[in-house]
């Protein structure tokens, strides 16, 4: 049923595209977007919407070109944004992909709740929390948690390379940041500043210490005037590098820390769940869990996957239904990481 109707829209779109029937093409595209939303293909809908918006912007550029000279300017700005926004993504991640404590999960759910009930909150003139900061050691899920939020909120996300914004054209950082915020708001996207501490680099790059102050002030203002629907996510593993006034602006500050024994077991479980591989006995598992203490989720997962591959090389094709991992190989890999 889904496939049937989708095929119909695709045929229409192809035909109108080839016949240069712009209006009908847009109409069919909009129908397909609505249809995709209804049939729970949200990411496809978001991506089509974004293509449509970009297409329309191009059209406007052409129209401007007829009138006068602004075409070049607009194109230039787009090129610049392409440089600053490394990726514009949709995400399929959900809460189930993130291993974390119940407190963290609870906080994340409260954050998304504010946006699914935004009308209710606005009805009572309550402010919406729209700025969230993830901090903690490397490999503990800051970037992943941001993708989870994008997936749960069913929004597109601008992943901004703040390092590039800061270093590429020093002196233009403030201006570039303003452009990013404006674009995100107009496209109803989430802004994600990964490695938010790059701002601190301004101290090293710039002889002019005023530059950093100016940029921090710009961000403070952008934060304060952020439209309620625009969500801002930032991640850092160096929270001390971030200006105190900036830190205060985040309504949610979430620490993603190294896993304890229970969480170590969970990251092992979710990694194994999608595979036919198993750990032979409880004793081996307990030993592994103990050894993993002090390591990040990322390292635990990485050593596990490497151990699976090397066990496979050992056993070759002689696998039956379930396949046991050689935990000795895994232990050695873990010890090397310490
Ligand atoms: N809490 C977690 N739950 C599930 N998987 C995780 C978790 N943390 C890390 N991982 C795994 O490790 C990978 C890398 O994690 P991620 O990029 O989110 O770390 P990070 O905290 O952003 O690290 P960095 O500070 O180095 O950027 C993830 O893609 C995922 O496969
Ligand atoms: Mg990261």
- Per-residue model confidence as pLDDT tens digits over 148-174: 999 999 999 999 877 777 766 667 778
Please give the pLDDT value at position 258.
Answer: 98
Atom of ligand 1 nearest to the CA of 298: 12
Residue 69's pLDDT is 38
State whether the beta carbon of 267 lies less than 6 angstroms from ligand 1.
Answer: yes
Q: What is the pLDDT of residue 73?
A: 42
190: nearest Cα among 226, 219, 221: 226
Ligand 1 centre from 192 Cα, in Å? 15
Regarding whether 207 and 239 lie in a shared domain, the answer is yes
**pLDDT number for residue 2:** 61
Six-digit token string for 278: 């198993």
Q: Give yes or no for residue 322 CB within 6 A of ligand 1.
A: no
Q: Is the CB of 144 under 6 A from ligand 1?
A: yes
Q: In what order do the strands lie in the sheet with 190-194?
A: 85-89, 157-161, 190-194, 232-236, 131-135, 252-255
Query: Atom of ligand 1 at shortest distance to CA of 302?
Result: 12
User: For the chain, what is the largest distance between any 2 Cα atoms, rounded to a whole number of angstroms?
Assistant: 76
Domain count, the chain: 3
Residue 83 belongs to a domain: no
**Structure confidence at residue 61 (pLDDT):** 45
Which tokens belong to 45?
A: 């809908």
100 plus 187 within the same structural domain: yes
Boundaries of domain holding 61: 2-74
Selection from 279, 267, 226, 280 nearest residue 249 by Cα = 226
Residue 85 lies in a domain: no
- Low-confidence stretches of the chain (pLDDT beneath 50): 61-74
Q: Atom of ligand 1 at shortest distance to CA of 97?
A: 4
Spatial contact of 89 and 159, defined as CB atoms under 8 Å apart: yes
- 246 and 269 share one domain: no
122 and 209 together in one domain: yes
Predicted TM-score (pTM) of the model is 0.83
């Amino acid at each position: 049923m889904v496939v049937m109707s989708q095929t119909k829209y695709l045929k229409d779109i192809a035909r109108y595209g080839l016949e240069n029937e712009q209006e009908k093409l847009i109409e069919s595209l909009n129908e397909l977007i609505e249809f995709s939303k209804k049939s729970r293909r949200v990411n496809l809908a978001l991506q089509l919407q974004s293509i449509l918006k970009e297409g329309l912007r191009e059209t406007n550029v052409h129209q401007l070109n007829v009138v006068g000279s602004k075409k070049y300017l607009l194109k230039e700005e787009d090129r610049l944004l392409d440089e600053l926004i490394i990726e514009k993504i949709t995400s399929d991640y959900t809460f189930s992909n993130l291993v974390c404590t119940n407190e963290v999960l609870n906080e994340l759910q409260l954050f998304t709740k504010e946006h699914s009930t935004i009308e209710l909150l606005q009805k009572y003139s309550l402010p919406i929390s729209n700025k969230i900061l993830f901090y903690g050691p490397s490999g503990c899920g800051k970037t992943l948690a941001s993708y989870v939020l994008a997936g749960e909120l069913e929004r597109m996300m601008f992943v901004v390379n703040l390092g590039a914004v800061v270093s590429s054209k020093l002196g233009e950082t403030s201006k570039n940041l303003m452009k990013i915020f404006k674009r995100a708001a107009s496209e109803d996207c989430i802004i994600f500043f990964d490695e938010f501490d790059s701002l601190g680099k301004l101290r090293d790059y710039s002889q002019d210490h005023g530059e950093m102050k100016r940029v921090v002030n710009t961000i403070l203002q952008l934060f304060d005037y952020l439209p309620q629907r625009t969500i801002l996510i930032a991640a850092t593993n160096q929270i001390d590098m971030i200006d105190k006034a900036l830190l205060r602006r985040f309504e949610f500050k979430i620490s993603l820390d190294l896993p304890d024994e229970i969480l170590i077991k969970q990251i092992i479980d979710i990694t194994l769940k999608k595979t036919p591989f198993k750990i032979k006995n409880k004793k081996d598992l307990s030993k592994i869990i103990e050894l993993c203490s002090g390591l990040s989720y990322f390292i635990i997962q990485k050593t596990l996957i490497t151990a699976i591959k090397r066990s496979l090389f050992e056993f070759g094709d002689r696998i039956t239904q379930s396949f046991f991992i050689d935990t000795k190989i895994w232990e050695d890999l873990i010890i090397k990481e310490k």
